[in-house]
């Protein structure tokens, strides 16, 4: 049987409902919004809980995992003739969670796919620092972010790497280090044939006019210099909304991210479903 391939524009695999801890809306409302927008594949990807409760303030509680899966499966059954609904997770990479992601999230809990992100770095006292809340331009944090991001890609567990240039929130200057870290992430993605994401939520994170930054764009990320390099290297690319509310599934951020991709001559992947799992082509 010929496999059906959908344009990336008809697919969204990066969404967060109320389950993620800082989003809103029921899973059912996200599916409905995707159907209304004419999409063919929708994947929820809540911020994945971890067994030691780490990152609890910004994550789905572990105790909600089963009802999240149940809600997603219910919505998938209810709407199966209108859309393919998948249940996924966005996972913060840390070596110590590798077995859990592999054996529990993708194993016994049988989620359909997992995405990889780095939202945190660790300071000299061992405390987590949220990338989006730190504006120190700290070169050590940028190196750490880059190393972790590449290790996450290398784990082989994930469908694609989310917002690789999220570091633009904490390291605002495009300098030699920003360039070499970007180069390292892009080279790793290329060598592993791992797609990276142009993120619609970043398009909506506007820079305040009063802020003094060297950025040429009005948003924090995606970073144009990063995607210029990514485009030249020929890596595979996904565009997602990273929506945290149903109305954003196919909203302004997503559309701006699509325009951003075409500015750099980037044609996003096509997406197919094999044995219930998304495959990026
Ligand atoms: Zn989030
Ligand atoms: Zn996300």
Output the pLDDT for position 213.
63
Query: Is there a domain that residue 241 lies in?
Result: yes
Give me the tens of pLDDT residue by residue for the chain, a chain 281 residues long: 678 999 999 999 999 999 998 999 999 999 999 999 999 999 999 999 999 988 888 899 999 999 999 999 999 999 999 999 999 999 999 999 999 999 999 999 999 999 999 999 999 999 999 999 888 899 999 999 999 999 999 999 999 999 999 999 999 899 999 999 999 999 999 999 999 999 999 999 988 665 666 677 889 899 999 999 999 999 999 999 999 999 999 999 999 999 999 999 999 999 999 999 999 99
Non-local (6+) Cβ contacts of 12 within 8 A are 34, 39, 41, 42, 43, 240, 241, 243, 249, 250, 254
Query: Is there a domain that residue 115 lies in?
Result: yes
Query: Is there a domain that residue 35 lies in?
Result: yes
Query: Is there a domain that residue 118 lies in?
Result: yes
Instruction: Report the alpha-carbon distance of residue 60 to residue 21 in Å, rounded.
Output: 5
Q: Give the ligand with the smallest distance to the CA of 23.
A: 1
Query: Is there a domain that residue 136 lies in?
Result: yes
Output the pLDDT for position 112.
98
Long-range contacts of 61-70 (CB under 8 A, 24+ apart): 61/21, 64/19, 65/109, 68/19, 68/27, 68/44, 69/109, 69/111
Domain that holds residue 262: 6-280
CA of 1 to the centre of ligand 2 (A): 34
Instruction: Report the alpha-carbon distance of residue 269 to residue 253 in Å, rounded.
Output: 18
Give the total number of structural domains in the chain. 1
Look at the block and give the residue holding tokens 């996904």: 238
| 181 touches 168 (CB < 8 A) | no
Query: Is there a domain that residue 1 lies in?
Result: no
CA of 275 to the centre of ligand 1 (A): 28
CA of 135 to the centre of ligand 1 (A): 18
CA of 2 to the centre of ligand 2 (A): 32
CA of 20 to the centre of ligand 2 (A): 9
Instruction: Report the alpha-carbon distance of residue 279 to residue 269 in Å, rounded.
Output: 10
| 147 touches 109 (CB < 8 A) | no
DSSP state of 273: E
Look at the block and give the residue holding tokens 């970043």: 202
Q: Which residues of 181-217 are buried (b: 16+ CB within 10 A; e: fewer)?
A: bbeebbebbeeeebbbbbbbbbbbbeeeeeeeeebeb
76: CATH: 3.20.20.140
CA of 4 to the centre of ligand 1 (A): 30
């Amino acid at each position: 049987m010929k496999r059906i391939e959908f344009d990336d524009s008809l697919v969204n695999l990066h969404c967060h409902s109320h389950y993620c801890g800082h989003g809103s809306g029921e899973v059912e409302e996200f599916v409905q919004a995707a159907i209304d927008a004419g999409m063919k594949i929708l994947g929820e990807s809540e911020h994945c809980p971890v067994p030691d409760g780490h990152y609890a303030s910004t994550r789905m509680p572990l105790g909600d995992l089963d009802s999240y899966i149940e809600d997603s499966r219910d919505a998938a059954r209810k709407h199966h003739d209108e859309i393919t609904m998948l249940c996924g997770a966005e996972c913060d990479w840390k070596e110590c969670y590798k077995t859990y992601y592999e054996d529990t999230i993708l194993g016994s809990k049988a989620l359909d796919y997992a995405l990889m992100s780095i939202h945190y770095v660790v300071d000299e006292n061992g405390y987590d620092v949220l990338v989006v809340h730190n504006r120190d331009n700290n070169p050590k944090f940028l190196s750490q972010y880059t190393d972790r991001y590449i290790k996450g890609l290398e784990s082989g567990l994930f469908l694609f790497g989310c917002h690789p240039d999220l570091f633009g929130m904490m390291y605002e200057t495009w300098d030699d280090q920003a360039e070499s870290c970007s180069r390292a992430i892009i080279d790793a993605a290329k060598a592993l044939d791992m797609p990276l994401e142009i993120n619609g939520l970043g398009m909506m994170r506007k820079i305040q006019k009063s802020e003094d930054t060297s950025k040429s764009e009005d948003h924090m990320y995606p970073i144009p210099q990063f995607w210029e390099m990514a485009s030249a290297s020929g890596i595979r690319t996904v565009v997602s909304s990273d929506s945290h509310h149903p109305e954003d599934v196919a909203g302004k951020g997503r559309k701006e991210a699509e325009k951003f991709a075409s500015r750099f001559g980037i044609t996003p992947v096509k997406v197919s479903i094999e044995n219930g799992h998304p495959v990026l082509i």
